[in-house]
Amino acid sequence: MIPSAFAYHRPETLEDVFELLSRHGDRAKLLAGGHSLLPAMKLRLAQPEVLIDLGRVRELAGVAVEPDGTLRLGALTTHHQVLTDPAIRQRAPLLSEVAGVIGDMQVRYRGTLGGSIAHADPAADYPAALLALEAEIEVAGPGGARRTVPAGEFFFGPFITALQADEVITAVRIPPAAGAEQGWRWGYRYLKMARRASDFALVGVAAAVARDAAGVAAAVRVALNGVTGAAYRATAVEERLTGRVPSAERLAEAAAHAVDGVEVDGDALTSAEYRAHLARVYTRRALEEAWQRAGDGANLAAAG
- Per 3-state DSSP, the chain is made up of helix, strand and coil in percentages (nearest 5) of 35, 25, 40
53: enclosing H helix or E strand: strand 50-53
The smaller minimum CB distance to ligand FAD, of residues 53 and 212, is found at: 53
Q: Chain centroid to CA 13: how far? A: 26
Q: Which of 36, 81, 96, 242 binds ligand FAD (CB under 6 A)?
A: 36
Give the C-alpha separation, 168 to 118, whole Å. 9
Does 283 interact with ligand FAD (rule: CB under 6 A)? no
Spatial CB neighbours of 270, under 8 Å, sequence gap ≥ 6: 202, 278
39 is a contact residue toward ligand FAD (CB under 6 A): yes
When asked if residue 59 is in the footprint of ligand FAD (CB under 6 A), the reply is: no
From candidates 59, 85, 125, 138, binder to ligand FAD by CB under 6 A: 125
Contact of 120 with 158, CB cutoff 8 Å: yes
4-33 binders of ligand FAD (CB under 6 A): 29-33
Query: CA nearest 224: which of 211, 239, 237?
Result: 237
| Burial class of residue 278 (count of CB atoms within 10 Å of its CB; 0-12, 13-18, 19+) | buried
161 binds ligand FAD (CB under 6 A): no
Kindly state whether residue 270 participates in binding ligand FAD, applying the rule CB under 6 A: no
191 binds ligand FAD (CB under 6 A): no
Please tell me the count of residues contacting ligand FAD according to CB under 6 A.
29
User: Is residue 224 at the binding interface for ligand FAD, with CB under 6 A as the rule?
Assistant: no
Query: Interface with ligand FAD includes 74 (CB under 6 A)?
Result: no
Please say whether the beta carbons of 59 and 14 come within 8 A. yes
Q: How far is the CB of 7 from ligand FAD (least distance, A)?
A: 15
| Least spacing, CB of residue 260 vs ligand FAD, in Å | 25
The distance between the two most distant Cα atoms of the chain, rounded to a whole number of Å, is 63
**What residue ranges bind ligand FAD (CB under 6 A)?**
29-37, 39, 54, 75, 102-103, 107, 111-112, 114-116, 118-119, 124-125, 163, 168-169, 199-200
